[in-house]
Chains A and B, each alone.
Chain A
Amino acid sequence: MTAATANDVPLSWYEASARQRIDALVDAGSFCEFIGPELREISPHLAIFNLPEQFDDGIVIGRGRLDGAPVLVAAQEGRFMGGAFGEVHGAKLTGLLRAARALKQDVVILFDTGGVRLQEANAGELAIAEIMRAVIEARHSGINVVGLIGGRAGCYGGGSLIAGTCSRLIISEQGRLSVSGPEVIETNKGIEEFDSRDRALVWRTMGGKHRYLIGGADIFVDDQALAFREAAIATLAIRSRFDPNVLQAEQKRLERRLHRFGDVEDAIEIWEVLGIDQPTGIPALPTGAFLRAANKRENADDAR
């Protein structure tokens, strides 16, 4: 039983702040922040644009314990500039991942991001590349890097690329995972391609249920902090492999996915091809019924 040391107060992951999520995720009282807000390590770019700064630059990093085991944690604050990556924000996550490799400790990343911060785009893009490299290097040395997705801002742009390099992803129905966001697709390809105001379309294209069904995420949980905590503990107990065979298996899986679903127009058709009974009912299913209905899903177990 892990609840003995958990902060077992009901908390919506979607509604919570970065700091609330960390408090609810790790063992009660175990979190110790690195480069906290009192050090005022703020973005060097935002002042140029006369924009408000945040003392932690929108990301909280540190160490804690998960069911007694030491773990490094990073949590993005999706309400500050959409959780976007800037220079300092990115450097904090890069540093944490490099520390993970040196300390031989697993990492949990609480994604909540729209991608790169446009006001410091070059620094942000470089940060994404550095973070992806750091994730791969950590995984290569046997570290698990687990991503948690269920925040307001979703996990978009560069954040989704980083998520793609993680050992495993845990997602809630509210979590959205996609390279391009709804507005970006509509702006570039037109409203006929993607109507960003069609919420049902957004959720069934980028939402947690669809990502879980096509193997884009590995574990599906309720929008509850305790559910994320228990899934993270279970996930970190699995030693994931990382070698050329794993990458080749993932490449094959993605080729097969393109072959299977490449011609269909909508997520519901994909669920139909998967062989799911009553695919139109998927969005309305509660978690338990959804997980039963999802037994024919694609998965990336071989690849990750």
Chain B
Amino acid sequence: MEKLSFRLTAPNRAGGTRAQTIVGVVASGNLEVLLERSLPAGTCTIDIATAAHGFGAVWDAVVRDFVARRAAGGLRISINDGGARPDTVALRLAQGVRKIEEPER
């Protein structure tokens, strides 16, 4: 397993009030993303454990793009990755920030 950590300045604060949410599952070509609202509003951390080694530069590009474009401020994001492609990762991250915006039932 390769572990990667990013601490980024987030321009957009995460919406909604949910404390946490989770999307995806750990399977071949898939990943789970756990999002917890536990950081200052202008910060986003992303910790990744991935089965696919040597793709640090790709992860760097995907997570920077995500934090710049989506409302990720204040989120501590933890990822368990089963070797997902960058587009799948971007999709799950987008699903995650959308889900944490949803009102609690």
* Structural contact, A77 and B34, CB atoms closer than 8 A: no
Is A104 interfacial (CB 8 A cutoff)?
A: no
Is A38 interfacial (CB 8 A cutoff)?
A: yes
Q: How large is the interface on A (under 10, 10 to 19, 20 to 34, 35 or more residues)?
A: 10 to 19
Nearest Cβ on chain B to A2's Cβ, whole angstroms: 17
Which of A28, A55, A79 is B30 in contact with, Cβ under 8 Å?
A79
A190 to B36, CA, bound (A): 50
* Structural contact, B20 and A51, CB atoms closer than 8 A: no
Which of A19, A29, A54 is B80 in contact with, Cβ under 8 Å?
A54
Query: Interface residue count for B (Cβ, 8 Å)?
Result: 18
Is A188 interfacial (CB 8 A cutoff)?
A: no
* Structural contact, B80 and A52, CB atoms closer than 8 A: yes
Known contacts A47-B1, A79-B27; A52 and B78 CB within 8 A of each other: no
* Structural contact, B34 and A37, CB atoms closer than 8 A: yes
Chain B 37-79 near chain A by CB (<8 Å), digits 1 or 0: 0000000000001110000000000000000000000000010
Which of B50, B51, B80 is A55 in contact with, Cβ under 8 Å?
B80
Nearest Cβ on chain A to B36's Cβ, whole angstroms: 6
A29 to B105, CA, bound (A): 5
Q: Is chain B's binding surface mostly helix, strand, loop or mixed?
A: strand
A52 partner residues in chain B, CB cutoff 8 A: 1, 26, 49-51, 80-82
Is A80 interfacial (CB 8 A cutoff)?
A: yes
Known contacts A52-B1, A53-B49, A55-B32; A80 and B105 CB within 8 A of each other: no
B105 partner residues in chain A, CB cutoff 8 A: 28-29
* Structural contact, A54 and B26, CB atoms closer than 8 A: yes
Is A17 interfacial (CB 8 A cutoff)?
A: yes
Nearest Cβ on chain B to A84's Cβ, whole angstroms: 12
* Structural contact, B20 and A53, CB atoms closer than 8 A: no
Nearest Cβ on chain B to A4's Cβ, whole angstroms: 15
Which of B25, B34, B50, B81 is A79 in contact with, Cβ under 8 Å?
B25
Chain A 17-56 near chain B by CB (<8 Å), digits 1 or 0: 1010000000011000000111010000001001111111
Is B22 interfacial (CB 8 A cutoff)?
A: yes
* Structural contact, B27 and A80, CB atoms closer than 8 A: yes
A56 partner residues in chain B, CB cutoff 8 A: 22
CB nearest to A77 among chain B residues:
B25
Q: Which of B26, B36, B51, B82 has the most CB of A within 10 A?
A: B26
28 residue pairs A–B, Cβ–Cβ below 8 Å = A17-B25, A19-B22, A28-B105, A37-B22, A37-B32, A37-B34, A38-B20, A38-B34, A40-B78, A51-B1, A51-B51, A52-B1, A52-B49, A52-B50, A52-B80, A52-B81, A53-B26, A53-B49, A54-B32, A55-B22, A55-B32, A55-B34, A55-B80, A77-B25, A79-B27, A79-B30, A80-B26, A80-B27
Task: Give the interface of A toward B (CB within 8 A).
Answer: 17, 19, 28-29, 36-38, 40, 47, 50-56, 77, 79-80
Q: List the 5 closest A-B pairs by CB distance, nearest first.
A: A29-B105, A79-B27, A54-B26, A79-B25, A52-B51
